[in-house]
Amino acid sequence: MAEIRQKPQIVSEATEAQIAVHWREEEYYYPSAKFIGQANLTDPDVIERFSEKNFPECFREYADLLSWDKYWDTTLDTSDPPFWKWFVGGKINASYNCVDRHLANYKNKAALIFVPEPESEAPVAVTYRELYVRVNEFAALLRDFCGLKAGDRVTIHMPMVPELPITMLACARLGVVHSVVFGGFSGEACGTRAADSQSQVLITMDGYYRYGKLLDHKAGADIALEIAKKEGQTVDKVLVWRRHAGQNASATPFVKGRDFFVDEVLTKYKGQLVAPVPMDAEAPLFLMYTSGSTGKPKGCQHRTGGYLAYVTGTSKYIQDIHPEDVYWCMADIGWITGHSYIVYGPLALAATSVMYEGVPTYPDAGRVWRIAERLDVNIFHTSPTAIRMLRKSGHDEPDKYNYHFKHMTTVGEPIEPEVWRWYHETVGKGEAVIVDTWWQTENGGFLCSTKPALDPMKPGSAGPGMPGIYPVIIDENNQEVAAGSGKAGNICIRNPWPGIMQTIWGSHDRFVAQYYAKYCKNRNSKDWRDWPYFAADGAVLAADGYFRILGRVDDVINVAGHRLGTKEIESACLTVSEVAEAAVVPVADEIKGRVPEVYIALKPGVQPSQAIIDKVNKVIETMIGKIARPKHVHIVPDMPKTRSGKLMRRVLAALSNNMNTGDITTLANPDVVENIRELVQGKEAVALTDGPEDLKRFGTEE
């Protein structure tokens, strides 16, 4: 309820269990008979097959979609909770499953179609045969030129080009653990991750296109190496792919004996074949760094067999991928969505996976739909941020293009029902079925979603737990929240599943503390039922069994569907010499969902200035990347604090979002709140709201 506020409001703090969420129940939408007629999953028995009484053996169904070098003995080993082991005793190679095994039937079919950002450059198709040749040659280079072997880690900092999945699959062929760092992250961010994973090789690219400009990407590698070195890790080889044959988009000089153009080294490995190494099902396949509650990103370690089985099963049944489909997921491979649903899942199913290099609205709002029309894409996958952006920049653009999607996905953030309806009616032309898939970097694949041919869609709700996934909402008093109660709580998964990460790289204690400590019923128990997985998302369960995700309950901000830790941004701010204290809070944004907003207090005697604000913006960009750019940087006279000196981010988040500030009487310096309010909102009173759930909860656990 909006109200006009004269001065900071004092309302009592609601506990999580008391937060009741009211929204209009949305009407169901149903899949068309045409979609159902061709769908991979139409048998309602799936619910029974994947029910608890058939757990964990139900997941054989997913693993049996793969080609195993050696079949496994034990489906799930729970002897060391919560370090679950899947398909134990099995041997498998991910590269073989995504490439070699398709040669018999699909060697001339496009595995990847690369769409360059400049429209003057034609799309490039890479057939399964060509992918096989290129993966083998690059694997030979990694093995013989770099000396890499199973278990070694390699950091990959690359844009959206076919050489990225080629590099990943070449690593997987050897059992080398890849750690792909999002290309948009800064060199510094890449360096910290390279150090944490102890990578000796960095694979990068000279440049790529964004907004029509050819960017110098390799420059970041030099910074990454410097940072990694500072953190104790020497990277001794940098392999540089070229965006244009025979050219160099980067102005940074090559370091002799360290930096190599891939194409030059590759001449020695032309036509070489490398036998895929049969890996233990439990051998790590890759690391994917993500933000958490500390300043340091954590490396989510994913296993080979379970992960591949889970993404293949969910790609087949939820993405409804058939080999004849042209599937386009607009995510970046540098995020988990790209790993699971551009590379591993679709390629394991012999699909054609489209990769687009650039900005969806470049050079105009029709670009995405032109690509869809030209390539005859029939499965489309993107985030609410992209949907909001496309809707804003070209509401009626899709009508102008003759493409037809049978299936569309939304992932990464809650989607507003209104935006969902535009996606359905305008983008999907009323024909496409939509799945709203809820999951996380840690999870490997989808956790909640409708089964596209079996369940009706409900705008704004992710849907029920996936087959074999048993979600539950638990409140702060450890009580299960009943379906249909309208109460919010923490969504947890009661059981292990094959896609769940193995651990945090090098930090097993943190893994247990972060995901299992909160609701573990008995630390000594070997029964998985005692170890619910805590997802750190708030959610509500409707009477029909559909989950509506409300957002993060920790200090992670979901910016445009990507995770940023407030502590990481705060640490960056504190490197500016004038800054004494920093606090980062999420602020609602029409397009990106949430964006960070920065509050800083200066050291004694330092005068506030635009120059300091510029410095803060700059340091965030260099230490993390443009994605973390704050909406505003506010210089405040003092931070709101409790009497024990704790910084109250909750109050700042309320001010940034025109929300009620809650109880501020316990603060050591309540007067500063009004000062900051004026600074942020202006002198005039503004309309206040209670705010959405995630913002309401932000900072309440501090």
Residues at the site binding ligand PRX, with contacts judged by CB under 6 A: 290, 336-337, 411-414, 436-441, 462, 537, 549, 551-552, 558, 561-563
Task: Tell me how far apart the alpha carbons of residues 645 and 208 are, in angstroms, rounded to a whole number.
Answer: 47
CB of 392 to ligand PRX, least distance (A): 20
CB of 523 to ligand PRX, least distance (A): 25
Q: Which is nearer to ligand PRX, 206 or 413 (CB)?
A: 413
- Looking at the DSSP bridge assignments, the partners of residue 541 are 547
Q: Which is nearer to ligand PRX, 224 or 539 (CB)?
A: 539
Q: Which is nearer to ligand PRX, 96 or 182 (CB)?
A: 182
Task: Tell me how far apart the alpha carbons of residues 210 and 284 are, in angstroms, rounded to a whole number.
Answer: 33
CB of 59 to ligand PRX, least distance (A): 20
Retrieve residue 268's tokens.
């020695």
Q: Which is nearer to ligand PRX, 564 or 647 (CB)?
A: 564
The number of CA neighbours under 13 Å toward the Cβ of 307 is: 31
Q: Over the range 579-609, which residues count as b (16 or more CB within 10 Å of their CB) and which as e? A: bebbbbbbbbbeebbbbbbbbbbbeeeeeee
CB of 245 to ligand PRX, least distance (A): 34
CB of 202 to ligand PRX, least distance (A): 23
**Total residues found in the chain within this entry:** 702
- 575: amino acid identity, one letter: T
CB of 282 to ligand PRX, least distance (A): 22
Query: How much of the chain is in helix, strand and coil states, percent to nearest 5?
Result: 30, 25, 45
Q: Which of the 8 DSSP states describes residue 13? A: P
Q: Which is nearer to ligand PRX, 304 or 437 (CB)?
A: 437
Q: Which is nearer to ligand PRX, 394 or 593 (CB)?
A: 593
CB of 501 to ligand PRX, least distance (A): 11
Task: Tell me how far apart the alpha carbons of residues 227 and 236 are, in angstroms, rounded to a whole number.
Answer: 13
Choose among 69, 124, 66, 132: nearest CA to 104.
Answer: 132
Q: Over the range 407-438, which residues count as b (16 or more CB within 10 Å of their CB) and which as e? A: bbbbbbbbbeeebbebbbebbbeeebbbbbbb
Q: Which is nearer to ligand PRX, 182 or 269 (CB)?
A: 182
Q: Which is nearer to ligand PRX, 548 or 677 (CB)?
A: 548
- Looking at the DSSP bridge assignments, the partners of residue 202 are 155, 238
CB of 415 to ligand PRX, least distance (A): 7
CB of 457 to ligand PRX, least distance (A): 13
Retrieve residue 54's tokens.
């058939």
CB of 435 to ligand PRX, least distance (A): 9
**3 state DSSP class of 513:** helix
Choose among 428, 484, 470: nearest CA to 452.
Answer: 428
The number of CA neighbours under 13 Å toward the Cβ of 229 is: 10
Q: Which is nearer to ligand PRX, 202 or 491 (CB)?
A: 491
Burial degree of 69 (CB within 10 A; 0-12, 13-18, 19+) = middle
Contact criterion met (CB below 8 Å) for 168 and 156: yes
Provide the angle, in degrees to the nearest 10, between the axes of the packed helices 219-230 and 187-196. 40
Q: Which of the 8 DSSP states describes residue 476? A: T
Contact criterion met (CB below 8 Å) for 552 and 694: yes
Q: Which is nearer to ligand PRX, 176 or 336 (CB)?
A: 336
Q: Which is nearer to ligand PRX, 436 or 570 (CB)?
A: 436
Choose among 372, 478, 347, 485: nearest CA to 428.
Answer: 372
Question: What is the sign of the dihedral through the CA atoms of 48, 51, 54 and 60?
Answer: positive
Q: Which is nearer to ligand PRX, 197 or 558 (CB)?
A: 558
Q: Which of the 8 DSSP states describes residue 252? A: S
Q: Which is nearer to ligand PRX, 442 or 597 (CB)?
A: 442
CB of 169 to ligand PRX, least distance (A): 21
Q: Which is nearer to ligand PRX, 87 or 182 (CB)?
A: 182
Choose among 12, 23, 2: nearest CA to 550.
Answer: 23
Contact criterion met (CB below 8 Å) for 522 and 531: no
Choose among 447, 209, 408: nearest CA to 328.
Answer: 408
Phi, psi of 109 (to 5 degrees): -90, 150
Question: What does the DSSP assignment read for 187-222?
Answer: HHHHHHHHHHTT-SEEEEESEEEETTEEEE-THHHH
CB of 506 to ligand PRX, least distance (A): 19
Task: Tell me how far apart the alpha carbons of residues 429 and 465 are, in angstroms, rounded to a whole number.
Answer: 27
CB of 462 to ligand PRX, least distance (A): 5
CB of 554 to ligand PRX, least distance (A): 9
Provide the angle, in degrees to the nearest 10, between the axes of the packed helices 163-174 and 128-144. 60
Q: Which is nearer to ligand PRX, 361 or 440 (CB)?
A: 440
CB of 565 to ligand PRX, least distance (A): 11
CB of 294 to ligand PRX, least distance (A): 16
> How many CB atoms are located within 10 Å of the residue 151 CB?
12
Q: Which is nearer to ligand PRX, 309 or 435 (CB)?
A: 435
CB of 509 to ligand PRX, least distance (A): 21
Q: Which is nearer to ligand PRX, 274 or 434 (CB)?
A: 434
